[in-house]
Amino acid sequence: MKFAHVFFSMAALASVLWAAPSSAAMTEAEHTLRQGWTTRTYLVNKPSSCTVNCPVVIDMHGYTSNAVEERDGSGQLQVGDANGYIVVYPSGRYDSWNAGSSSYGTCCGTAERYNVDDVGFLKAMIAKIKTDYPMIDPKRIYATGISNGCAMSQRLAAEASDIIAGAACSSHYLLTTATSLKRPINMTEIHGLSDILVSYNRSFINTGAQDNFKRWAKMNGCTGLPTKTAVTVNSHVEEYSNCSSGVKVKLYTLKSGHVTYTNTDGVDVAKITWDALKTHSLP
């Protein structure tokens, strides 16, 4: 089953998203990295309160979007400023990420079609950030994003669980054939019940939120049944808490469409993303 390429552009939502090109307390720098014959870029936003052992959140944009649009729309800039963590916004080639292709789905665009080594790029980027920003905590590097960026976050978590401490992202699934992990890793996926681009329910083009949730639980050695807790009247979270090495696997089900950042249920997605990540670190 092949996954129809997902379109998600923050620019199209400019009228409903807050305008936040930067924070007064955040310093932004653009960095470059050579990958073969290609120059890759990423933005690093460092809060003034970050002086030692700062966490890092890598926030990846959706298909046809870019680093600037993700920075201005995801809310991580503001939450990072308030909580003293660095936020990194990498740019996918051709405004896309090679999140994989399998029976679970395919995504997205030119990066997937040309088999761009985005895992290799992100690993190299993390290594460079450790050198350029020695004040970070290398045991607290996390991945997030939306749509294609969420699928990429999950691929990174599956293939580099020895480098990142967890992932929490919105509106997509793990699309590779991974069946095991280098180590257990915390995973949270956030999905809207009314998503018409990447459906919440299993379909002929994607695996669905519940199957993805159970797949991560299996790879993390979780046992028992998940608990279910209301977030609002219309939204809830399910959680496997009895997993290997004390990790947790969560699925937030929101009253929302594809773009959970603008859900209609008053759920602060940037905050629940950080809350799902912040307590976990590499051994």
Helix or strand holding residue 276 (H, E): helix 269-277
What tens digit of pLDDT does each residue of 116-149 get? 999 999 999 999 999 999 999 999 999 999 999 9
pLDDT digits (tens, 9 = 90+) for 204-232: 889 999 999 999 999 999 999 999 999 99
CB crowding 26-38: b at 16 or more within 10 Å, else e: beeeebebeeeee
Rg, the chain, Cα only = 17
247-267 average pLDDT score: 97
Closest to 97 in 3D by CA, of 82, 117, 111: 111
Nearest CA-CA partner of 134 in 53, 49, 26: 53
Residue 16, pLDDT above cutoff 50: no
Is 0.85 surpassed by the pTM of this model?
yes
Could you report the per-residue pLDDT of 70-111, keeping only the tens digit for each?
999 999 999 999 999 999 999 999 999 999 999 999 999 999
Q: How far apart are CA 198 and CA 192, in angstroms?
A: 9
